[in-house]
Amino acid sequence: MSELITFGQAYNLALAEAMENDEQVILLGEDVGDEQGGGVFKTMYGLSGRFGTDRVRSTPIAEQAILGAAVGSAIAGYRPVADIMFMNFLTVCMDQLVNHAAKLRFMSGGQTAVPLTVTTTTGTGRQFGGQHSDWLEAWLAHVPGLKVVTPSTPADAKALLLASIEDDDPTIFIQHIALMRAKGAAPAADHRVPLGKAAVVREGTDITVISYGARVRDCLQVAERLADQVSIEVVDLRTIAPFDEETVLRSVVKTQRAVVMHEAVKAFGVGAEIASRIHEELFGQLKAPVHRVGSKYSPVPFNPGLEQDWTANGGDLEVAIRKVMG
């Protein structure tokens, strides 16, 4: 049996490797230094001890300053990783992200690149309530100039975070809170995941299920559970923006049916974009309209029963698959 690591460990390994490989990589964020605990989930523990508090800087609770300092150091040639503890806190620094990080390369006519990585966490399952659990990836994916990434396994987490840091564009790396201590196979030494490339994580012939992040696990479980009734192909997007249209369309050409699943609310989400693109390209070849599965249209509730009910799950996916299969 191969070695297992957690998402948190994968994240720590990627940061350490990136900092080891390139002295221009720096880390900014609240509580990221060892003295402050190495991050709220301890995923950055050991880095300031190893690389120094110049390169691993604990900041005040000031998201605009963290993101702005990351943008400024990025245009001066550094590769900052700005840790924004929870994804909801990105709303506090959207100006820096949307008006500056995403646009400075374009507005300068290519004179200033912004090789910045924002690491953040979100998701249900640990009852963080309405202001710490939202999935805002559709907001970010909608902004030209930003790349958005979220892993579904620890091995991919390490590879995708390294790829994000090495990439010359601003990238948002989203980690699911509830999976921080979940384990998966450790990455092989040569495991690399380029940004913008999806993976077919299970082959099938009847229907394609497209997802990303934690919800890929639901897709695989449902595929297993229904294996004797329907052959489900599962595509893990890995990078939400830019979206790997080629891999998705190739799969749907084969299966002629598709469902998209995410944890963000269904309305106006990434699923709408993917479903629409499939319809635009493959309308005549589809055996049924593409369906979407997303969480309920309300703020994320605190109560565990309500939170569980809110979150899109395997049962919701199964209902959608049955509808599409007819």
Examine residue 72 and tell whether it contacts another protein (CB under 8 A): yes
Pairing of strands 183-185, 199-202: unpaired
Examine residue 113 and tell whether it contacts another protein (CB under 8 A): yes
Please state the φ and ψ torsions of residue 125, each to the nearest 5 degrees. Answer: 115, -15
Examine residue 108 and tell whether it contacts another protein (CB under 8 A): yes
Question: Is 132 assigned a catalytic role?
Answer: yes
Choosing from 7, 11, 41, 78, the residue that interacts with another protein (CB under 8 A) is: 78
Q: Catalytic one among 100, 132, 176, 262? A: 132
Examine residue 94 and tell whether it contacts another protein (CB under 8 A): no
Pick the closest to residue 174 from 136, 126, 209 (CA basis).
Answer: 136
The nearest distance, CB 25 to another protein, in angstroms, is 11
The nearest distance, CB 152 to another protein, in angstroms, is 23
Whichever of 73 and 311 has its CB closer to another protein, that residue is 73
210 HSE (CA, 13 A, CB side): 30
Instruction: Say how many residues touch another protein, by CB under 8 A.
Output: 44
In Å, what is the CA distance from 177 to each residue of 9, 121, 135, 320?
13, 6, 11, 26
Please state the φ and ψ torsions of residue 19, each to the nearest 5 degrees. Answer: -70, -35
Choosing from 16, 46, 65, 268, the residue that interacts with another protein (CB under 8 A) is: 65
Q: Are 263 and 272 in contact (CB under 8 A)?
A: no
Query: Encoding tokens for residue 172?
Result: 């948002």
Pick the closest to residue 133 from 121, 151, 115 (CA basis).
Answer: 121
Q: Which of residues 127-156 bind another protein (CB under 8 A)?
A: 144-145, 147
Whichever of 111 and 190 has its CB closer to another protein, that residue is 111
In Å, what is the CA distance from 250 to each residue of 102, 244, 253?
30, 10, 5
Whichever of 243 and 310 has its CB closer to another protein, that residue is 243
Whichever of 228 and 280 has its CB closer to another protein, that residue is 280
The nearest distance, CB 297 to another protein, in angstroms, is 30
Pick the closest to residue 117 from 28, 213, 8 (CA basis).
Answer: 28
Residues noted as catalytic: 132
Q: Which residues contact another protein (rule: CB under 8 A)?
A: 26, 54-55, 57, 59-60, 62, 64-65, 67-78, 80, 95-96, 99-100, 103-113, 144-145, 147, 167-169, 242
